[in-house]
Structure 1
Amino acid sequence: MKKLYHGGKILTMEDRMPAEAVLTDGAKVIGVGKKEELLRMAPDAEPVDLDGKTMLPGFIDAHSHFTQVAMGFLQVSLDGAGSVEEIHNRILEFIQREKIRPGSWVQARDYDHNLLPDGKHLTVDEIESLAPEHALVIQHKSGHSGLMNRMALRHVGITTDTESPEGGYIGKDTKGLTGYLEENAYFDAAKKVPMPGPEELLHAYEMAQEQYASFGITTIQEGMLVDEMLPLYQLLLNARILKLDLAVYPDKETLAAAEQQIGMYGTGYHSHVRIGGIKIFLDGSPQGRTAWMTEPYQGDEDYRGYGTMTDMEVLDALREAGKRKVQIIAHCNGDAAAEQFLNCLETAEQEYPVLRTLRPVIIHGQFMRPDQMLKARDLGAVVSFFTAHTWYWGDVHVQNFGLERASRISAAASALACGLPFTFHQDAPVILPDMLETIWCAVNRRTKNGIILGADQRISVWEALKAVTVNAAYQYFEEDQKGSIAPGKRADFVILSENPLEVPKDRIRKIRVLETIKDGESIFCQGH
């Protein structure tokens, strides 16, 4: 079925000049140009009147965690909770609503200690008071730490004698375990929490997919696939419920098994899923004070955060990527983590020059310095910024790093100036995968307290749009299929209530996604 889109502002992202019309045939774009000319090409095409609205290529999620987004629909959200009482009430309401039996697991998400009156984590007694008859696990909003009550700690095998793992921390004081787990300690424990049943999981995956689509996203990511998640993917593949394209990044140890289940790297999508490469992570989060920095955190002369991998482990992962000729993406928030990755990448590229062509991605790159950006560019890397940090935790970063360092977070203007390719992401479920809000953050860089965090790092709306379309397609090696509206590319579109290039910059995040179209089919429609 051919369709002719017209009557609106069509931003193809090929250039700044809007197109008058777009002609599609099923899943492909076959023409872009004047309406009359395209009508002559396909006089029987179904007309789609945009009624003055704005159409762009579908947004591309450069980094998130699809399964964690799905799991979030089965957990209680503590987003915005600013007191122990509010946290307790939400958990109690969830237990009662879901009729969770005593002794069973209760999972909570979006907890942020920065919102509590003293800015400190809950004490062990406070954690115990929240759900004394259940095994309770609470994930920090950063995704890099969490809390467990005593019942949960027993179930995952953590005792006062358990030593903190390399690149992680188990909280203890003179009385014993505090319930706080950080980085690898938290990740290891979280793997032991029982999974929900198949029906619950599939429903959660469907809801997660709908959420991404509601924000105009047509390609999404599984940003860290570990061995324990493989049964979930077998379930997902067998159900064939995906409409969005999903790029999956296993860790090094899971890659071979994932390829057997999903398909070999480089063979494209199978039921909308493909292997994207290998994922590693080298440090924690700046808002959780675990990002690995070269200079100390403000107010603590001896603390710089810490790395989660040794140089040899990073090199082993890069060598595996070079040997297998697969892309690697590396979580690096602090500049010390970025330094470690770039030094190891430089060494690995001497052994495997192909790595330079595989577009290695620095995920977050929050505190990358100008010299590191130049080095990343020269090594063929891409950086994907979590630029919405300026809004969500900008004021926390000022406290943790001082205004000067905080103002350099997600330095997109510096990357643009030096020619380092960059994309934007939301690291969902850390925050919602709201692309328009992210664009708003990139062009305004305002904190919740009204501070302009690095005015010199603001970029134009056009460049911000490229970061979630053209550039993101490049990151995925899909620039010949996605990222812009052009003949031969996928018919992946988002229709917006207003044109981001024309509204005042302060209003960009108020623009509504009206419809999301994947491969020529409408998968989300709010109504025009």
Structure 2
Amino acid sequence: MAENKVMLAVIVGAVLGACSPAEQNLAEFADLIFIGDNIITMDNTNVSAVAIRGDRIIATGNEMEILPLQSSTTRLIELGDRALLPGFIDAHGHFGAVATYSALLDLSSPPVGTIMSIDDIVVAIQNWISDNNIPDGQLIYGFGYDDSLLLEQRHPNRDDLDRASTSHPIVIRHVSGHLNAANSMALSQSQITAETQVPQGGVMRRRPGSEEPIGVMEETAMALLPGSGGVISEEQGWQLRREAADIYASYGITTIQESNVSPGYVSALKSHAQDESFPVDIVTFIMGNPLSDIELAQVSQDVEYTGGVRIGGVKFILDGSPQGRTAWMSQPYDEGPPGVDADYVAYPSYDPDVYRTRVSALLERRVPVLAHANGDEAIEHMIDGIADAVEGESIPDHRSVIIHAQLIRSDQLDRVKELGIIPSYYSVHPFFWGDWHRRSFGDERASFISPVRATINRNIPFTIHNDSPIVPPDMMRLISITVNRQTRSGYILGPGQRATVMEALYAVTQGAAFQYFEEDEKGSITPGKRADLVILETNPLTVDPARLADVEIKETFARGVSVYQGNIN
């Protein structure tokens, strides 16, 4: 190999030396060239060299074909044992929340954090108050606690959080993002009492045998409590977003999703992006649930990015989460939340009839729709809404997306294929909550969580995601869990639903680009496409699948520019 490179250098030097200065116009050369044996293009081509000029891939091929594009200013990267892939695409997540949460109290359990019990939560809050010299009366906001992993196997309540402080309002968010817990001061300041009216689509948990709030709020009832906006200033929030873009880039991500946002927020995001472009792309989705019909009618899809930001469509939330046991099911939970009846199936968080009407109006205007639906009953309504919208005409290329689709059934997958719907699976669930789901739903339903293999067998386009900040935007761990499906206890949850490494890579490259209507621009290392690339420490196709999660990101390129450099060793 070394001799070949020396010979190529001689040949290239001779070719360039024979050219006149006019023929050596630097505009014709590459800014960046990669050479190596582990280039995974994702477009079914085998190449050993890639050339980049500006923000575009200009050529792929072998070294003999590509090295003549090298000039004195070209950066040449010899990959060696490292692998080059298209930049990873975040199919679903919450960019702004990743930014905000990075400055808040993290109450996550391993492997993300260290919390193992409610006592740990109490101590962590006390330490946070002390370490940050937080004055009495100022809101304490934490996130990431997981009742399924706590020693007590329950949510912390107002009494637990009162042990942390009675002079600070305290609100902590469940790892799912679908429940909050608050102390007595937070409840009092929010004027939450036994008589408080709970919004439709929410639940306020109460003390057994009483109407008194216990401090735990589900779904829309969370809005009764203060949010994290009272903790972080606007200026700090925008700085945190800049830092969050770097966090995503460190995981090899070159396109991010920012979901559940308002039109006003997107306008502000674009304004900041015009002042200083974000290093990676951000696709935003307007939260449809709270908007009026008039407001929704003003939302449209952006074709072009503004400083790295565009509107991708509208998102609706139809139910809760399986890890929070609020996913809306057609059949009862095997084990539901404390105190519920044996026939508990959870509940919708949004009126299905309103959803159907609004989806029809949006798809008629060709505005893409995402719908959060975890339980099979919520998924049924999501699918019905799309079916109604396209009834009586040839099915348009709408690419509506079921976000999460955790408990989708086989018969629903058949309808998904027929209607051209894309499932985006929250496929880290088997590891993070697989053991919990076996208790909640029984082995048969739990084993069909994120049924990637059944989806592939039907030739249905699909994607996978982390739903960050619920879990960090770690794409290699996401790929690993999709391939291995091993729970925390070591159990293989639904071995028949495992993906190959290449199939998992498809879901975070070509599949995700297709979901965003960007398959002509992103998702593969193909001449003419955007130079969004990631270098991994080794080839994920040949590494031991058990080690996939440990494969390091070495460098990330967005629009042809290096936006993250990891450990060079």
Matching of residue 51 in structure 1 with residue 87 in structure 2:
no
Q: Is the 8 A contact 2:274 2:306 kept in 1?
A: no
Pick from 99, 108, 118 the counterpart of residue 79 of structure 1.
Answer: 108
Could you list the per-position Cα deviations for residues 88-146 of structure 1 after superposition, in whole angstroms to 9, with x for gaps in the alignment? 12112222222221111111000111122231112321122223211211000000111
For 2:502 and 2:100, locate their aligned partners in 1 and report how far apart those are by CA, in whole Å.
34
For 2:515 and 2:211, locate their aligned partners in 1 and report how far apart those are by CA, in whole Å.
49
Q: Which residue of 2 aligns with 1:103?
A: 137
For 1:479 and 1:187, locate their aligned partners in 2 and report how far apart those are by CA, in whole Å.
38
- Secondary structure at the aligned position of 1:55 is classed as strand
For 1:42 and 1:457, locate their aligned partners in 2 and report how far apart those are by CA, in whole Å.
45
Could you list the per-position Cα deviations for residues 272-328 of structure 1 after superposition, in whole angstroms to 9, with x for gaps in the alignment? 000000000111000110001111100463101111122221112202312331100
Q: Which residue of 2 aligns with 1:376?
A: 416
Mapping 1:354-393, distance limit 5 Å: 356-393=396-433
Pick from 234, 243, 261 the counterpart of residue 198 of structure 1.
Answer: 234
Q: Which residue of 2 aligns with 1:266?
A: 302
Q: Which residue of 2 aligns with 1:412?
A: 452
For 1:136 and 1:4, locate their aligned partners in 2 and report how far apart those are by CA, in whole Å.
53
Matching of residue 328 in structure 1 with residue 328 in structure 2:
no
Q: Which residue of 1 aligns with 2:254?
A: 218
Pick from 56, 63, 85 the counterpart of residue 35 of structure 1.
Answer: 63
Could you list the per-position Cα deviations for residues 339-384 of structure 1 after superposition, in whole angstroms to 9, with x for gaps in the alignment? 1111121112127x58731200000111111111110111111010
Q: Is the 8 A contact 1:227 1:254 kept in 2?
A: no
Q: Which residue identity does 1:218 align to in structure 2?
A: T
What is the identity percentage for the equivalent residue pairs of Structure 1 and Structure 2?
36
Structure 1: gaps (5+ residues): none
Give 4+ residue runs of structure 1 displaced > 4 Å after superposition. Answer: 41-44, 190-193, 227-232, 254-260
Between 156-165 and 209-218, the greater mean CA deviation after superposition: 156-165
Q: Which residue of 2 aligns with 1:207?
A: 243
Pick from 283, 287, 303 the counterpart of residue 251 of structure 1.
Answer: 287
Matching of residue 496 in structure 1 with residue 536 in structure 2:
yes
Pick from 394, 401, 413 the counterpart of residue 441 of structure 2.
Answer: 401
What is the aligned length? 524
Could you list the per-position Cα deviations for residues 375-404 of structure 1 after superposition, in whole angstroms to 9, with x for gaps in the alignment? 011111101001110000000001111111
Distance of aligned partners of 1:93 and 1:268 in 2 relative to their CA distance in 1, 3 Å threshold: same
Matching of residue 339 in structure 1 with residue 367 in structure 2:
no
For 2:274 and 2:41, locate their aligned partners in 1 and report how far apart those are by CA, in whole Å.
35
Q: CA deviation at 1:38?
A: 1.5
With the length of structure 2 as denominator, give the TM-score of the two structures: 0.88
For 1:232 and 1:177, locate their aligned partners in 2 and report how far apart those are by CA, in whole Å.
37
Q: Which residue of 2 aligns with 1:519?
A: 559
Q: Which residue identity does 2:269 align to in structure 1?
A: Y
Q: CA deviation at 1:264?
A: 5.2
- Secondary structure at the aligned position of 1:396 is classed as helix
For 1:46 and 1:496, locate their aligned partners in 2 and report how far apart those are by CA, in whole Å.
18
For 1:515 and 1:214, locate their aligned partners in 2 and report how far apart those are by CA, in whole Å.
8
For 2:228 and 2:476, locate their aligned partners in 1 and report how far apart those are by CA, in whole Å.
36
Larger radius of gyration between Structure 1 and Structure 2:
2
With the length of structure 1 as denominator, give the TM-score of the two structures: 0.94
Q: Is the 8 A contact 2:300 2:367 kept in 1?
A: no
Distance of aligned partners of 1:231 and 1:190 in 2 relative to their CA distance in 1, 3 Å threshold: farther
For 2:314 and 2:542, locate their aligned partners in 1 and report how far apart those are by CA, in whole Å.
39
Distance of aligned partners of 1:58 and 1:257 in 2 relative to their CA distance in 1, 3 Å threshold: farther
Mapping 1:442-521, distance limit 5 Å: 442-521=482-561
Pick from 200, 205, 217 the counterpart of residue 171 of structure 1.
Answer: 205
Q: Which residue of 1 aligns with 2:21?
A: none
Q: Which residue identity does 1:295 align to in structure 2?
A: Q
- Secondary structure at the aligned position of 1:9 is classed as coil
Q: Which residue identity does 2:173 align to in structure 1?
A: Q
Q: CA deviation at 1:465?
A: 0.6
Matching of residue 10 in structure 1 with residue 50 in structure 2:
no
Q: Which residue identity does 2:156 align to in structure 1?
A: L
CA RMSD for the aligned pairs? 2.2
Between 194-203 and 59-68, the greater mean CA deviation after superposition: 194-203
Q: Is the 8 A contact 2:405 2:424 kept in 1?
A: yes
Q: Is the 8 A contact 2:270 2:306 kept in 1?
A: no
Q: Which residue identity does 1:111 align to in structure 2?
A: Y
